């Protein structure tokens, strides 16, 4: 199914909203969820015998990209890095004790910050530590991915990552235009990215993903077209194209960006429109929420066979796994519990130094949350929901349980974002770009009237 760009609908429905990488979203997490609750829940989860997914957060970066809104630490201080790694090792020991060794790690993701801030020796040691603490899946089923900053690696590093067991990587590109790169303080040449991409293919990486951003200073439709041409020439398996949210009051680094250099909303819409047409014309499929993939990529296959999910990495496969998060600010999802580690390294390290798990907040979801999470997943991953099937699966009468929500969906149906009838909901080609506005109808925590600026804009 393709996607259809409708400027009028985008202007009307493209306001702020959660990206639903979880439901409930992290805004609902509270300190009522303690480390003891997490421990109990993690131990109890072993009865499920489900495989595990590991997320490891490396918060460090060498330099500041001015657009960045991530939780990161820009430093060259190796003592600080060494101390963090030492505490991360202790957390690995504490967390691994909670889970049965029979539960294999089918999925691993290194995120940041910049995971490739770590040198080869540090990465070797960290992987060895993880392998000794958990049982890694060695089969083809495994999906081990790492976020790579092209400025921090060469061809030998890429080969080294493959030797460590990684088989998927994502490269942070943002834009190939030198003027845009200079304005955001992130300079990397097209040649270097091409070399890394070829090396990754050569080293046997099964999936290569590029991250791009539209709405950056000095971008125009023509300049972004040139970037897209270069990207398509390199044929990444997946693409994530994010909307730049300029919030200089919240993110200090963004104050280095001159407001006047940012494309107008009209130009941004034109860039997005052109991007969708160009990528779909080049054979990419629109997965949803900024993500595109080639037809033989696992995301497209997972969408077809019903194993696609939204999680903290955006879209992902391996829906069956419990997610164990390691490192500062990382969010785990075990059974019906979400738990986030302390968000500052000071707090994170102090808790571990004290012999405690570094959990600072979270939420235990209730039955209603689970139903709503399932509805939101269905809409965001598969663009449709059958009332009958959902009702049978969850033992509810969907039209009665969600009577209010169905009423609130009617204007969206009148505007042709969705088809709504007695059998269910189907998202139209126009609605696919506005998934979060549709999903928000089922979010019991959100005040739809407020244009909450803690969230980014849908478009
Ligand atoms: S965009 Fe990535 S590399 Fe740049 S400062 Fe943010 S986390 Fe670090």
Q: Which of 57, 60, 61 to mutate to test the pocket of ligand 1 (most atoms within 8 A of CB)?
A: 61
Architecture of domain 21-326 in CATH?
Answer: Alpha-Beta Horseshoe (3.80)
Domain ranges of the chain: 1-20+367-459, 21-326
Q: Is 173 in the pocket of ligand 1 (CB under 6 A)?
A: no
Q: Tell me, using a 6 A CB cutoff, whether residue 115 lines ligand 1.
A: no
Whether residue 64 has its Cβ less than 6 Å from ligand 1: yes
Q: For residue 117, how far is its CA from the centre of ligand 1 (angstroms)?
A: 11
pLDDT of amino acid 152: 95
CA-based nearest residue to 211, from 246, 170, 251, 243: 170
pLDDT, tens digit, 9 for 90 and up, residues 297-356: 999 999 988 889 888 878 888 778 999 999 999 999 999 999 999 999 999 999 999 999
Instruction: For a ligand 1 pocket test, name from 58, 63, 65 the mutation site with the most ligand atoms within 8 angstroms of its C-beta.
Output: 65
Closest residue by CA, ligand 1 atom 2? 113
Q: Considering the chain, what percentage of its residues have pLDDT values greater than 70?
A: 97
Instruction: State pLDDT tens for residues 396-418.
Output: 999 999 999 999 999 999 999 99
pLDDT value at 447 more than 90? no
Higher model confidence: residue 118 or residue 447? 118
Please, what's the b/e burial string for 407-420 (b: 16 or more CB within 10 A of its CB; e: otherwise)?
A: eebeebbebebbee
The answer, yes or no, to whether any atom of ligand 1 lies below 6 A from the CB of 57, is no
Mutation to probe ligand 1, out of 58, 62, 67, 113 (largest number of atoms < 8 A from CB): 113
pLDDT of residue 229: 98
State the average pLDDT over residues 187-203: 97
Cα–ligand 1 centroid distance for 101 (angstroms): 34
Q: What CATH fold (topology level) applies to the domain 1-20+367-459?
A: Arc Repressor Mutant, subunit A (1.10.10)
The best mutation among 149, 240, 256 to test binding of ligand 1, ranked by most ligand atoms within 8 Å of the C-beta, falls on 149
At residue 457 the predicted structure's pLDDT band, cuts being 50, 70 and 90, is low
Q: Rounded to the nearest whole angstrom, what is the distance from the C-alpha of residue 245 to the centroid of ligand 1?
A: 15
Q: Is the CB of 59 under 6 A from ligand 1?
A: no
**Which atom of ligand 1 has the smallest separation from the CA of 174?**
1
Block residue for tokens 């834009």: 175
């Amino acid at each position: 199914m393709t996607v259809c760009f409708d400027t009028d609908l985008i202007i009307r429905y493209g306001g702020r909203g959660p990206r639903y990488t979880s439901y409930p979203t992290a805004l609902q997490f509270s300190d009522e969820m303690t480390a003891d609750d997490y421990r109990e829940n993690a131990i109890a989860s072993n009865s499920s015998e489900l495989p595990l997914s590991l997320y490891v957060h490396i918060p460090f970066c060498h330099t500041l990209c001015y657009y960045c809104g991530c939780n990161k630490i820009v430093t060259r201080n190796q003592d600080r890095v060494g101390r963090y790694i030492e505490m991360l090792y202790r957390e690995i020991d504490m967390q691994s004790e909670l889970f049965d060794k029979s539960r294999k790690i089918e999925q691993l993701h290194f995120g940041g910050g910049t995971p490739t801030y770590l040198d080869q020796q540090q990465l070797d040691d960290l992987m060895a530590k993880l392998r000794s603490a958990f049982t890694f899946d060695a089969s083809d089923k495994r999906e081990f991915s790492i976020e790579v900053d092209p400025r921090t690696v060469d061809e030998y590093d890429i080969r080294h990552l493959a030797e460590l067991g990684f088989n998927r990587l994502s490269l942070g590109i943002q834009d190939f235009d030198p003027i845009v790169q200079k304005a955001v303080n992130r300079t990397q040449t097209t040649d270097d990215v091409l070399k890394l991409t070829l090396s990754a293919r050569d080293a046997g990486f099964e999936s290569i993903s590029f991250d791009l951003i539209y709405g950056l200073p000095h971008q125009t439709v023509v300049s972004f077209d040139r970037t897209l041409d270069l990207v398509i020439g390199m044929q990444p398996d997946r693409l994530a194209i994010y909307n730049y949210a300029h919030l200089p009051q919240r993110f200090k680094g963004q104050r280095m960006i001159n407001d006047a250099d940012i494309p107008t909303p009209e130009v941004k819409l034109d860039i997005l429109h052109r991007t969708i047409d160009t990528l779909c014309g080049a054979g990419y499929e629109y997965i949803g929420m900024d993500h595109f993939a080639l037809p033989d990529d696992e995301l497209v296959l997972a969408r077809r066979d019903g194993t696609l999910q939204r999680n903290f990495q955006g879209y992902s496969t391996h829906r069956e796994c419990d997610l164990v998060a390691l490192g500062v600010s990382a969010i785990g999802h075990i059974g019906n519990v979400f738990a986030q580690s302390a968000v500052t390294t000071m707090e994170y390290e102090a808790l571990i130094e004290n012999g405690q798990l570094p959990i600072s907040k979270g939420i235990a979801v209730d039955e209603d949350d689970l139903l709503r999470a399932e509805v939101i997943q269905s809409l965001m991953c598969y663009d449709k929901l059958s009332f009958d099937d959902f009702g049978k699966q969850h033992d509810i009468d969907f039209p009665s349980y969600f009577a209010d929500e169905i009423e609130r969906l009617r204007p969206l149906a009148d505007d042709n974002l969705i088809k709504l009838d007695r059998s269910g909901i189907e998202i139209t080609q126009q609605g696919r770009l506005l998934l979060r506005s549709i999903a928000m109808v089922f979010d019991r925590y959100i005040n739809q009237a407020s244009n909450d600026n803690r969230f980014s804009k849908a478009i």
